[in-house]
Structure 1
Amino acid sequence: MQTVASQSAFAPTGIRSAPLRTSGTRARPSTLVRSNKKTDIAKQGLNGIENEVVKNNLMGRSRFQNKKDWVDASGRKGKGYGVYRFENKYGANVDGYSPIYTPDLWSESGDSYKLGRNGLIAWAGFFVIFLGVAVNLILATSAVGQ
């Protein structure tokens, strides 16, 4: 069995490397999550969207692509699968794609930000640390500290 170094045309003839060793076991690909249940797209937080076009886009649905006679911008005929081929079987795309945050999941107070007492304490702590570092840098690089 020839080694990689001896096969190379640029390797010096006096250098020989040990043959590559591999274990006899092979790694199997693992499936992290396997779910065959249907995703209820109604529970994904998209019901509060009033604009039908936006709602369908977020759900991955199209009025035209579910029909067999639609044609895309390149002129290719569609197959009638819709946006996601397995939407009817699984309820959404195979991986259950949906936006991370949708309007139905937003909090009522999302329009305003309230820091609260803990936020003020954290902000004051960072400000004191920043001032301490700034004073330290000024004193360390100037004649005032000597």
Structure 2
Amino acid sequence: MNIRSTYLHLLSDALSSVAVVLGALFMWAFKIYWLDPLLTVLIALYMGYEAFKIVKESTLILLEATPPDIDVKEVEESVLKILGVVNMHHVHIWKLDDETTLFEAHVNVKPNTSVEETKAIRTQIENLLKDTFHIDHTNIQFECNEHTNESLIKNL
């Protein structure tokens, strides 16, 4: 995001310089004096639009909101297809920065599931999340016979 912000700043400087030179040439050659304010407004609108996208994305990161390209219900349905998983709740998916997405959840497994089996389930969940949803870091808390009727996201 910092690189995009810097790029936007440099682009605005370059566009402004080009607009000033071209505007001056057109005003001199064709006596079109209204061109300068028009170019200024167009550049300002473009810069405002690009800046708004960066501010919106930054705000979602700071609020630890679920990324708009990830459907939590789809994640739940995919995880529940893994053999041994009974339920998943207290799910939190958020972005740490432009590239890193994090996942946290409580996963109920079948009764009498061994630690070795939960390791295999965890690996399957991590691979699924990485390959399908591009989630880089997972924090999974396994439970057995607890909170089996809880919804995916607890209503406060």
Which is helix-richer, 1 or 2?
2
- TM-score calculated relative to the size of structure 2: 0.24
- TM-score calculated relative to the size of structure 1: 0.25
Greater RCO, CA 8 A, separation 6+ = 2
Structure exhibiting the larger radius of gyration computed from Cα positions: 1
